[in-house]
Amino acid sequence: MSINDSILNSVGLTDKNIKFLISDDGNFNELVTIGDNQHQALRYRATLTTVPEHCPQCGVLLSDHFYLAGTDTASYKLPTVNGYQQILLLTKQRYQCRRCQSTFIAQSEDFMTNTTISRPLLYQVIDLAKRDISEKDIAYILHLSHSKVNRLLHHAAQAYRTNYTKILPAVICVDEVLYAKHHYGFEMINGTTSDLIELFPTRTSLDIRRYLSNYNLANRQRVQYVVTDMNANYGTPLRAMFPNAQIVVDRFHIIQLAMKAVQSTRITLQRAIDNKRSRVYKLLKSNWQFFITDQSKINTVQPRWFKGINEYLYPQDALQLVFGLSPKFKQAYQVYQTILSAQQSRSFNEFSEILSQYEPNHSAMDQVMVSYKKNLKGIRNAFSKKHSNGRIEGINRRIKQIGRTAYGYGNALNYFFRIRLQLFNRQHIDANFMTLLTKKNLRI
Ligand SMILES: [Zn+2]
């Protein structure tokens, strides 16, 4: 390997037409102090003399139909190595076409038009963006300005296209994702591997149809189970778009809905109590966890310590104290506990019995029962299938974390791109994307 090739390798460039200047005593770079913050950088000098095959203007085969027309020197930013910024002063040959007289300059795949960012440095930006690191930190590591990194990522985000030819898995989990104040997106993950399949910026019924219909029918027919919560918007478009799939309501969501009803009934009751110093008020206020705990996991043989009232009580006595005050709360609590027990014994019959026996009493639980009835088929599947949306919770946590690292993304496009970069299986942001990205005219 020539010394020139070794230098190319060490600075991360690939074009062998870039010829480094090597001094008589063998030096090919120098430490220089540059920039507002007077940081040290390694500077290289090189020439580029690549004659294009055809004249870019008139298309004539150039071979030797050209004149040399001077040189241009530009400074490019190279990838960071050992913490040093590396810069390249590149002297590029200018040519003139003999036929049309137009002039043009030597080009290299390692550089892009309209930017001093070299292609390998752009790759470094994208690579760091796959990690949970803020744009500001990426800028610091690569010796770029924050705004430059922001624009590079914005450019990359614009170049991103959803790959609708991706083979869909047999089990899909869908959920909504809050990505900005009042802005919900729609996400799909692979129910088996937990990989994010895709993220869409809106979640209306019409939009979901529009996104999903980009996958061809044969692909959509592969999907056998769609795990979802009880959001009324999704059912219809999901059934239409995945004709072979059974909807499975997420079993944690079934419980969560009833649990929230218990919580809200407790809070309503608490607020209605005038005497804030009464035992029952203090009991309700300080022991919210107790009232949503699975009864089968509560030890009823021994008294336990209750906060707020600061007493030892048998759990059943504590419950009676509240039940005596509010039959509504009693009902909500008992319905919730029966649902927990039905789930544990995986008995759909037990569950549907709750529905048929329930008597509405203008409490939060009424609405829960309506939702259950609407989604009964999906709930029945939840009892017989093992699929759940548990995996999507992990994805949602990571999405929130990405937002926190960035201190909130002002720009949804950039935020979505970072989510994709960080959550997709790495291969999805593949060479094709990078080629597409760098072919686009960068103005940064
Ligand atoms: Zn020409």
Structural domain for 266, as ranges: 252-384
Residues near 313 by beta carbon (within 8 Å), at least 6 away in sequence: 303, 304, 306
Q: Which one of 116, 132, 154 terminates a domain?
A: 116
Compute the distance from residue 69 Cα to the ligand 1 centre, in Å. 14
Q: What are phi and psi of 304, to 5 degrees?
A: -125, 165
Give a yes or no: residue 430 inside a domain.
no
Cα–Cα nearest to 121, from 368, 438, 378, 334: 438
How far is the centre of ligand 1, averaged over its atoms, from the C-alpha of 104 (Å)? 9
Residue 147 falls within a domain, yes or no? no
Distance, CA 63 to ligand 1 centroid (Å)? 12
Poorest-pLDDT segment among 3-7, 46-50, 421-425? 421-425
DSSP class of residue 245 equals P
What separation in Å is there between the alpha carbon of 51 and the centre of ligand 1? 13
How many Å lie between the centroid of ligand 1 and the Cα of residue 66?
Answer: 9
Q: What would the pLDDT profile of 75-108 be if each residue is shown by its tens digit?
A: 999 999 888 899 999 999 999 999 999 999 999 9
Q: How far is the CA of 102 from the centre of ligand 1 (A)?
A: 6
What is the pLDDT of the chain when averaged over all its residues? 90
Q: Which one of 338, 355, 384 terminates a domain?
A: 384
Q: Which residues contact 191 (CB under 8 A, 6 or more apart)?
A: 169, 170, 171, 172, 173, 225, 227, 387, 391
Are β-strands 171-180 and 225-228 bridged in parallel, bridged antiparallel, or unpaired? parallel
Distance in Å, CA 44 to ligand 1 centroid: 33
* pLDDT value of position 408: 59
In a domain, 208, yes or no: no
pTM of the entire predicted model: 0.78
Q: How far is the CA of 55 from the centre of ligand 1 (A)?
A: 5
Q: Tell me which of 152-161, 194-203, 262-271 is least confident.
A: 152-161
In Å, what is the CA distance from 406 to each residue of 73, 136, 142, 152, 433? 37, 8, 17, 15, 24
- Ligand 1 centroid to residue 47 C-alpha, Å: 23
* N residues, the chain: 444
Which of 384, 400, 435 marks a domain boundary? Answer: 384
Q: Quote the ligand 1 centre to 109 CA distance (angstroms).
A: 22
Q: Residue 92 C-alpha to ligand 1 middle, in angstroms?
A: 19
70 CA → ligand 1 middle, Å: 17
396 CA to middle of ligand 1, Å? 56
Q: What's the CA-to-centroid distance between 96 and ligand 1, angstroms?
A: 8
CB 116 within 8 A of CB 75: yes
In a domain, 295, yes or no: yes
- Give the pLDDT band of residue 375 (cuts 50, 70, 90): very high
Q: Please tell me the distance between residue 17's alpha carbon and the centre of ligand 1 in angstroms.
A: 22
pLDDT tens for each residue of 103-127 = 999 999 899 888 899 989 998 999 8
Number of domains in the chain: 2
Q: Taking each helix axis from N to C terminus, what angle separates 412-423 and 119-129, rounded to the nearest 10 degrees?
A: 80
Distance 52 CA to ligand 1 centre (A): 11
Please state the rounded mean pLDDT for residues 422-439.
65
